[in-house]
């Protein structure tokens, strides 16, 4: 009788443990938004549209970021060129002249 109680208790503990693990897995799946992903797979045109929008936004963001970065670098090079440092100043002045010529040719 006592062995049957121990076995029943062990089965109950194992069942509770499995239930706990299953709930943990379900929670992780909820957090991973797997339902939204499978919904997108069933609607390919929506997936394509979202990818086009996100790609365009990423491209615009990269272009704006690079523009600010390049403008900052050119500004700093102009400041360094104005200091008339012997070797570095000539090199920077050449780079600034090349960039300015290129900008004039594009307009």
pLDDT at residue number 2: 67
Q: Sorting pLDDT into bands at 50, 70 and 90, what band is 9?
A: confident
Place of tokens 């069942």: 15
More confident residue, 61 or 11: 61
pTM to 2 decimal places: 0.50
Contact 58, 52 (CB under 8 A): no
DSSP, res 11: H
φ/ψ of 33, rounded to 5, equals: 55, 40
């Amino acid at each position: 009788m006592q062995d049957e109680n121990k076995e029943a208790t062990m089965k109950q503990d194992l069942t509770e443990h499995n239930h706990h693990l299953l709930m943990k897995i379900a929670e992780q799946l909820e957090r991973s938004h797997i339902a939204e992903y499978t919904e997108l797979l069933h609607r390919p045109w929506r997936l394509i549209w979202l990818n086009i929008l996100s790609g365009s936004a990423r491209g615009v963001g990269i272009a704006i970021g690079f523009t600010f970065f390049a403008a900052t670098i050119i500004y700093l090079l102009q400041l360094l060129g104005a200091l008339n440092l012997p070797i570095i100043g000539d090199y920077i002045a050449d780079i600034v002249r090349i960039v300015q010529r290129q900008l004039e040719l594009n307009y």
